[in-house]
Chains A and B, each alone.
Chain A
Amino acid sequence: MSGLRWTIWLPLAVFAAFLALVGLQLYRPAERKVQSAMIGKPVPQFALPAASPDRPGVSTADFRDGKPKLLNIWASWCIPCAAEAPQLAELQAQDAQIVGVAIRDKPEDVAAFLAQYGNPYARIGADNLSSIQLEIGSSGVPETFVVDGQGIIRYQHIGDVRKRDVAILLDKLKEAGE
C-alpha cells in the first residue's frame, strides 16, 4: 500500500482542479442579458383585422408614416396588462402614439377591458393565433416595442410598463424620431 499512498491525495487534487475551473468561469463576465434579435429589423409583414369597433386594425404599412410609435402587445385576460393601463394612459397623454395588438382575445372581452381601464390605442389589431407575437420575437403579454417612422424596431420592453419605464419609453420614442 505504501507505494500507493499518494493516490489518497488524488481526489483532493481533482477537486481542487474542479474548483479552479468553475471559479474561473463564475467570474468571467458573460453575456447574460437577453436581447431581442428583432432590434434593428423591420416590423414583420402582417395585416390584422380590428379588435374593437371604434378603432381600425393594424398592418405593417401603418408603421411607415414617418412617426415613431409604440407597439403594445396585450390581452384582456392578462392581469399585468391591466396593471400597466395607467402608464399607457400617461404615455398617450404625453403624445405617444400607441398601436395595440390583442392576443387570443374575444371582441366582448376587449370592449369590457377598454371600458374599464381606458383606451390609449390609436389602432388595435386582433391576433387570434398569436402569429405576430411569435414573428416579432415576443415571449408573451404584455410587451411593448418602440418602432421608428420607417417601421424599424428600435427597442423592446418585456413585461408590464411600470411608472419608472414611462420616461424611458418617451426617451426611446424621441430617439427613434430623430
Chain B
Amino acid sequence: MLNRRVFLAAVPTTMLAAACTAPTAPGGSGSPNGMLLGDGYEPDTLHPLLGYAQEGAAKFYDGLVSFDGRGTLRPALAAEEPSSTPDARQWTVTLRENVVFHDGTPFDADDVVATYRAVLDPAFASTISSDFDMLERVEKVDARTVRFDLKYPYAAWPALMVLGIVPAETLAEPEPLENSPLNTEPIGTGPYRLVEWRRGDQMIWRGNENYWGGAPQVGDITVVFATDDNTRAQRLQAGEFDGTVLPPVLAERVGGVDGYRVLHHDSADFRSITLPVGNPVTGDPAVRLALNLAVNRQGMVDALLGGHGTPASTPIPPSMRPHHEPSAVFPFDPARAEQVLGAAGWVRGSDGIRTRGGERARFAVLYNAEDSLRRDLALAFASDAQTVGIEVALEGLGWDAIDPRINDDSVVLGAGTPLDPDLQTYSALHSSATGTGTYNNPGGYRNAEVDAALDAGRRAIGDQERAPHYRRAQTAYVADPGAVYLAFLDHSYLVREGRWNGYQPVVEPHTHGTTWGPWWNVEDWTTVT
C-alpha cells in the first residue's frame, strides 16, 4: 500500500499568459488532465534494448518488475514476486494475465522470452548485453511462466528485470535493432502511448485506456525539448511549463516563481576521481589515502552544488539505507593527509610539491570537457591536492580521447543506480570487473576482502541477508581506498503546484529525461478537482 505524500496549494493556480495565447491543444497546460513538461534531454531511441529507460520508469513499456521509489522492487508484468532457487541461480516469474500491448496484441511468455533472448543474441546489436552477462538461458515454461537460468548465483537479478518488454513480433528477424521501428514508434504495455514525436521539438504521450494498472488520470503529457538550461528556466517563469529539470543552483534561483515548487531528489548518481593502480603516484597506498583525507567534500557540495548533494566516500549513498555503512566515511583532515604522505617518504620540495626517490607527486586528471560540473569538481580536487603537496594536471577532453588513457590516468567518473547495491558496487570495486568494460573498475582496484564481501552479496537472498555484506565491503574499502568518491548529486526540478496529487519523492539513478524525476510515477497521479 502506497503511503502518498499529498500536497495542496493554498492558492489556486492562475494561468499566466505571457506573450502567447493559452495553448488550445490537448496536452497544453490549459487542459485539466494535460501536463506540459520541459526537458533538457532528448532520447536518441525509444527501444529498451538500445538502452531507453534502462532503470525502468519507461512510460511506454513495463518491465517484469518496477521500482517503488524507495529501494524495493514490486511486480509489474510479473503477477507476483519472482521466486528463486536457494542458490539464486534460477529465477521463475509468473506473468500477469489479460495484458495487451498498445497495438492490441496480447502479452504472454513469448514476448518476455523474445525480449531477453534478443539481449543475448549478438545479431540484434543490443547495447545493454554486457549488463546481462550472468544470464545463460531464458525458457518459456508455459504461457504464463518464464524461467531464467543464470551462469552464477546472482541475488540482484530482479533489479535487471525492470527491462521493458517488447512484442515478440518486432524481434522476429535477427538483425541490428538500429532499423527497428520501435526506435521512434514504441509498442509496449506501458501506461502511456506515444502519439507524436517531432524530433528536436516535442513529444506527445497519451494515457493508455487499457493499462492493466488503470488508465492514467493525467491523460496527456507533452514533453518539450529545450536543451538550454536558461531557456527552460525562462519559459517556466513565463508559465509555459508544468514542470522542468534544472541544475540545483538555477532551480533555487528560479524557485520563487508563484505557483511552483522546487524539489531536490536524492540520487545514487556519484562523481568520483579514479586512481589507477598502474600509475606510480596514484597507485601508492599512501597517496590514495591522503587524497581521500585532503578533499573537502562538504565544501564541494556547498560551493558547486549549492548544497544540493551528499558527500560520498564510497559508492553506496545514505539513501540506499540498509546497505549503507554510516561509519565508512573519510573525515576532511588535511593535517593527517600530510602525516600519511610524510611517513611514506613523500617529501615536500622547494616548490611545495612532494617527491619520493626522484618521483614527483604529480598525475593527470581527465574530465569530459563538455560537462561543466565535472570540470569544477576536477578543479576543486586539484586545489585540495595541491594543499597537501600533490600536483594535479587537469585535461579537459572528449570521451574518445579519454578512453585509451583510462588505465594510466585519473578520470572524473559519474554513474549510479539505486536499484541494487550490486549494480552500484560490483563493476566499480570488484577486481574481476577490470577489463569487462571500459569504465568498469578502470583503476584496477583489487582488495580481497572487498571482493569476498561483494561476492557474498550476490549469493545471499533478501535485503536483510545481503546488507551486512555490502556494509562490510564499504568498511574494507575505506581501509584501503581505490578512488576518491566526491559526492552524490541531487537532481533538481520545478513543478506546478495544486493541480495534481500523487507526487512521491524518489531516489534517482544517473539518468536523464523526464521519465524519472517527480514524474517517475505520474501514471498514478490524480487530478485535483
Bound pair (A, B) = no
